[in-house]
């Protein structure tokens, strides 16, 4: 009877061991399998997203290194966050381009508009000096005014040259 009870207890232990351990082993194997599958899927999705961001970064660097603001990212593909980032970057480039154009136009216009009054001032100072109608004590003051006028004209010429040069850049 004792041997039978011992055998019965051992069978019960084996049964309990197979009932408890087999599902646990299977569950652990499934857990490892699904974890590996999830990690692989996450890696693939992340790689795909990063690839699009790498494209945006490369295009932004290329545009930044160029001398004009004519190029745009103009992204294709799904309308996601990366596409929205590209559209925002393109809109910023459009605003910058318009701003630089307006700046060049203003510089050119201001340079031209400032030349006329300076020319009139220079003429108004030079004619009396050339005709000898200026008292000798006023001549140094008129000469300083002419020198200041000449410096201002050179500055405006430089601005005009800069504006023309910016407009001519490819």
> Which pLDDT belongs to residue 124?
94
Distance CA 41, CA 28 (A): 20
Reduced 3-state DSSP string for 99-166: HHHHHHHHHHHHHHHHHHHHHHHHHHHHHHHHHCCCCCCCHHHHHHHHHHHHHHHHHHHHHHHHHHHH
> Which pLDDT belongs to residue 168?
54
Q: What is the pLDDT along the chain (170 residues), one digit of tens a residue?
A: 666 666 677 777 776 666 566 777 778 878 989 999 999 999 998 888 788 788 888 888 888 887 677 888 888 878 888 889 889 989 998 998 898 888 888 887 887 788 889 999 999 999 999 999 999 999 999 999 999 999 999 988 888 887 777 655 54
> Which pLDDT belongs to residue 170?
47
> Which pLDDT belongs to residue 1?
60
Q: C-alpha distances in angstroms, 169 versus 95, 164, 166?
A: 19, 9, 5
pTM of the predicted protein model:
0.54
Contacts of 97 (CB under 8 A, 6+ apart): 69, 70
> Which pLDDT belongs to residue 4?
67
DSSP assignment of 29-97 equals: HHHHHHHHHHHHHHHHHHHHHHHHHHHHHHHHHHHHHSS-S-------S-SSHHHHHHHHHHHHHHHHH
């Amino acid at each position: 009877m004792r041997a039978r009870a011992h055998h019965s207890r051992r069978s019960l232990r084996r049964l309990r061991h197979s009932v408890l351990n087999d599902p646990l082993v299977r569950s652990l194997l499934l857990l490892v399998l699904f974890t590996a599958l999830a990690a692989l899927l996450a890696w693939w999705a992340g790689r795909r997203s990063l690839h699009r961001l790498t494209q945006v970064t490369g295009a932004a660097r290329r545009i930044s290194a160029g001398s004009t603001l004519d190029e745009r990212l103009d992204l294709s593909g799904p309308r996601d966050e990366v596409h929205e980032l590209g559209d925002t970057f393109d809109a910023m480039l459009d605003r910058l381009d318009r701003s630089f154009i307006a700046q060049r136009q203003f510089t050119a216009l201001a340079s031209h508009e400032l030349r006329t009054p300076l020319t009139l001032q220079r003429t108004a100072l030079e004619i009396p000096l050339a005709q000898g109608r200026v008292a000798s004590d006023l001549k140094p003051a008129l000469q300083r005014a002419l020198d200041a006028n000449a410096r201002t004209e050179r500055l405006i010429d430089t601005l005009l040259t800069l504006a023309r040069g910016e407009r001519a850049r490819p």
